[in-house]
Amino acid sequence: MSEEYDDRARGFTAFPPRKGGRTRGQSWWGGAWGESMEDGWPEEDVLKKGRALARSGRLGPLSVAPGRVATQVYGGADELYTVSLELPELDDDQWDALWERTADRPAETDALLAGELPPDLLEAAEDARLGLLPGYGELGPDCDCDEPDHPCAHAVALGYQFSWLLDEEPQLLLLVRGREWSEALEELKSVLLLRAMTEADVPADPESTADIEDTEDDAVEEGEGRPGARATGAVEGIPIAEAYARPVVLLPGLPPLPEPPEGSTEPVTGIEADPLERLVADAAVRARELLSYTLGLIGEPPRPLDVWQDTVRIAATHPDPQVPRRLRDSCGRPDELDRAAEAWRFGGGAGLEVLEESWEPPRSEVARARTALSTGWEDDESPDLVVRDNRWTLSGRGLQLRYGRDGRWYPYQERSGTWWPAAPPTHDPALALAALLGD
C-alpha cells in the first residue's frame, strides 16, 4: 500500500472497458469537466489517443485527494505507469467568498443542503472571482512514461475517467479543490447561521422610523396646540417625546463575591477543575444544534444524551483526572467506562454507538468496502478478513475495522481479549486499515 496518504483521500474501483459513445462524462458536471480539460489541452491527436485509452479498461483504481487525481495505467510488455493530475486547491479566504456568494442564492443553497451540486454554483464561484473547473494552464499532468506529448495519453485518459466519476459523485470536484463534502456543507451552514443571527439584531427599518416620526407630527398637528396633546409610538401609551426626554438610569452595581469558606482548600463543588467553563461550552454547542434545526440547516433535531452517554462524554472530555475516577466509582459500569470514553474521544457519540452496537450494512456498501480493501495488495498478500455484521476482523492479528452508521470506518485493536478503539475513524476503509497496520 502507498505510504503517502491524505486522510481525506478517496479510492474508487477501476472502470471496465467501454465500447464507443462519447468519452466525456454524461452528466452536467462530468461534461463540463471534460470540456474544460479539452479547452486546456487542444491537441486533437493526443485527445484521441486519451479517449481510446480511457475506454480500454487499462487504467487501475482511481485515487481522489485534495489537489490531486491519480491512477496507474497498464502498458504493453508488462509496463505500469503512474499518472496523476494536479489542480490548485482553493485557500480558506476563497472558500469563504464562495459560500458568501452562494448564501445570496436561495435555490443553490437549498440544492446544496439537499445533497446536490447545482450547476449554478459556477455562477456563485464567478461572483467570488474563483474557478471550480480547471482554468487554462491549471491542470498539471504528471506521468513516468517516456511519451513526448505533453500531456501524454495516460494523463488525458485519467482526465476523462475522472469526468465519469463526476457523473456518479459530482461532489468530488469540491474535494479536488480542497474541501470534503461534509466540510463544505458545515462552512455554508455557518455562513447561513451567522446571517440569521445578525439579521435578528438589525435595527428597525428606517422607513418604519420615518412612519413613527410622521405619526408624532400628525398627532401634534391634530392636538391644535392644546396642552397635554400626546403622540404615542411603538409602545402604546408612552409618548415618544417623553420617552426620549427621560434621563438615562444606570444599572445598580454588582454585589461583592462571597468569601471562600475558612479553612477549606477544596472548592464547594468538590471538583478541582472549575466546571463552569465546560458547562457554558456544552450549552453553546447544544444551542447551536437546536438553532440549526430550527432554521432548517439540519434534518433532525439533536438527540438528547441519556445518563450513560453523558457520563461517558464527561469522562472523555474533562481535563481533571479525578473526574473519570469519581465517575467510575458512581456510574454502575466501572469496567466499561474507560473503553467507552476512549471511543468517545475518537468518534464522539457515533464512536460510542459503534463500540456498543452491531448492525448489518447494505450489501452495496459491503461490496464497495471489499473492493477498496483489496486495492493495492498482491493476491498472496491480501489480508484474511472475517466479516460479521459491520465488523471486519483480520484473522490472527488482533485487528478489526468497524463500520459506523455515519459512513466512517473505526479501527479497533484487541487488548487482553477485549476490543479497544485504536485510531480516529475515516471514510476510507483502506486508510483505516493502513492506520492499524502502521503503513
**End-to-end CA gap in the chain:** 7
Q: How confident is the model at residue 393 (pLDDT cuts 50, 70, 90)?
A: very high
Q: What is the pLDDT of residue 280?
A: 75
Q: How confident is the model at residue 221 (pLDDT cuts 50, 70, 90)?
A: very low
Instruction: For 16-48, write each residue's pLDDT tens digit.
Output: 988 877 888 899 999 999 999 999 998 888 999
Three-state SS at 436: helix
Mean pLDDT (the chain, rounded): 81
Q: What is the pLDDT of residue 262?
A: 64
Give pTM, 2 decimals. Answer: 0.51
Distance, in Å, from the CA atom of 320 to the CA atom of 328, rounded to the nearest integer, reads: 14
Q: Over range 91-98, report the average pLDDT.
A: 94
Distance, in Å, from the CA atom of 297 to the CA atom of 113, rounded to the nearest integer, reads: 7
Q: Are 22 and 74 in contact (CB under 8 A)?
A: no
Distance, in Å, from the CA atom of 401 to the CA atom of 354, rounded to the nearest integer, reads: 10
pLDDT at 115 over 70: yes
Q: What is the pLDDT of residue 349?
A: 84
Q: What is the pLDDT of residue 240?
A: 66
Instruction: Return the C-alpha cell found at 204.
Output: 428597525
Smallest Cα–Cα separation from 178: which of 131, 140, 141? 131
Instruction: Return the C-alpha cell found at 307.
Output: 445518563
pLDDT at 77 over 90: no
* Residue extents of the structural domains in the chain: 10-90+131-179, 304-357, 360-437
Q: What is the pLDDT of residue 6?
A: 67
Quick check: bond before 17 cis, omega within 30? no
Q: How confident is the model at residue 379 (pLDDT cuts 50, 70, 90)?
A: low
Q: What is the pLDDT of residue 381?
A: 62
pLDDT at 3 over 50: no
Q: Are 321 and 296 in contact (CB under 8 A)?
A: no
Q: What is the pLDDT of residue 226?
A: 41
Distance, in Å, from the CA atom of 293 to the CA atom of 383, rounded to the nearest integer, reads: 43
* CA-based torsion, 4, 10, 13, 16: positive or negative: negative
Smallest Cα–Cα separation from 394: which of 411, 369, 417, 379? 411
Q: What is the pLDDT of residue 82?
A: 92
Q: What is the pLDDT of residue 260?
A: 62
